[in-house]
Structure 1
């Protein structure tokens, strides 16, 4: 039977609490397992880090690699940059003969192709960084205030977060009692859908969205 060890990563504690970023990774992994994996298959472990991709010191990744190597399972990630943004780190994994690696968003890519992709992605990030620095330097030379747009963006984000929290507190009138009674996230999502309560965007509820509401209400 095909075996997988799943690894996901988000960069900040806020992303970890809200589920933002994790939902997309889980979706890509589920699409791979449903449409591209050999069957039957088994997921023997799931690991998640909340750390920057520039850091190689990630305890959960270390555990995922250890399990994958010891069992012969494939390490499955949604995208290559969830492992690392450093091509040197990716290259070391590619050279590891005891490790099998699979990237959900590139289901047919072999190690050689993944190595090339990592190198190209690193070059692109370096170019974007230099382009941004040049644009900021030019704007400053022309007398433009660099903080204005950033301040507006921050205020807009704060307004969005405040609205989201207000909506979360409203639906907590239903979620709260269900959660306190021991209902699972999936059961709460099903109840909300059955009673016709839509999400803030008018869609159906999922366990991840219920978790996100709980995180918003509990955050200061």
Structure 2
């Protein structure tokens, strides 16, 4: 089926609210996308409402256009499944930047390249995850831990337990110790 008669429809994704999709939007607009759908969600997040919306919006002859492959799919299986689903509906797929920018993923050669590049992207993400985990383990071995510093130290916890034993309310104790009630409940639950 000819997939070049419809519209180019763009999909953009940023991982966090702090990131801006402006670069992706500019590239998709320059490619003449008639409409752009944008998600603000981690690629690992399966809840991507705008991806679902764009997939529903596309019609035979349209082409889904993404800025980079990693903005669309996070695993090879996910990528191949979605591209196959688009092809079965007569919808094209186009990547604007990166290794897939110059190929047509609906051809046998293009499909091979799509799978190779997708596998390499998945491999790279695995390496990054492994390096991050190794770095965290090395820091932990040196006595450094990440995350938010604890608010309830041993003195505050002892004071909280003593006040609780005297019948003082959690709200009053939290206010006196200058911590949230949730923090106090969590600390008291952790000690039994």
Deviation at 1:72, TM superposition (A): 1.5
Higher Cα Rg, which structure: 2
- Please name the residue that 2:156 is paired with: none
Determine the structure 2 residue equivalent to 1:103. 95
2:41–2:48 contact (8 Å) kept in structure 1 = yes
Equivalent residue number for residue 56 of structure 1: 46
Offset at residue 95 of structure 1 (A): 1.6
> Normalising by the residue count of structure 1, what TM-score does the alignment of the two structures yield?
0.53
Question: Stretches of 4+ moved more than 6 A in 1?
Answer: none
2:18 is paired with a residue whose SS is: helix
1-structure distance, mates of 2:135, 2:38: 36
Structure 1 segment 21-170 matched on structure 2, within 5 A: 22-30=21-29, 33=31, 43-68=33-58, 70-96=59-85, 97=87, 98=89, 99-105=91-97, 106-111=100-105, 112=111, 113-141=113-141, 143-147=142-146
Distance 2:6 2:102 in 1: 16
Q: CA contact under 8 A between 1:56 and 1:84: conserved in structure 2?
A: no
Secondary structure at the residue paired with 2:34? strand
Alignment: residue pair count: 134
Whole-angstrom distance in 2 between the partners of 1:49 and 1:101 = 18
Q: Does the CA contact (< 8 Å) of 2:33 and 2:65 recur in 1?
A: no
Against the structure 1 CA distance between its residues 81 and 145, is the aligned structure 2 distance closer, same or farther, given a 3 Å change threshold?
same
Alpha-carbon distance change, 100 to 56 in structure 1, aligned in 2, over 3 angstroms: farther
Quote the residue 2:14 is aligned against.
10
| Structure 1 residues 12 and 71: alpha-carbon distance in aligned structure 2, compared to 1, 3 A threshold | same
- The RMSD of aligned alpha carbons is 2.5
What CA distance in whole angstroms lies between the structure 2 residues aligned with 1:92 and 1:77? 16
Q: Which runs of 5+ in 2 are unaligned?
A: 106-110, 150-192
For structure 1, which runs of at least 5 residues remain unmatched after alignment? 34-41, 152-220
Q: Indicate the SS of the match to 2:7.
A: strand
C-alpha separation in 2, matches of 1:116 and 1:132: 24
TM-score by length of 2: 0.60
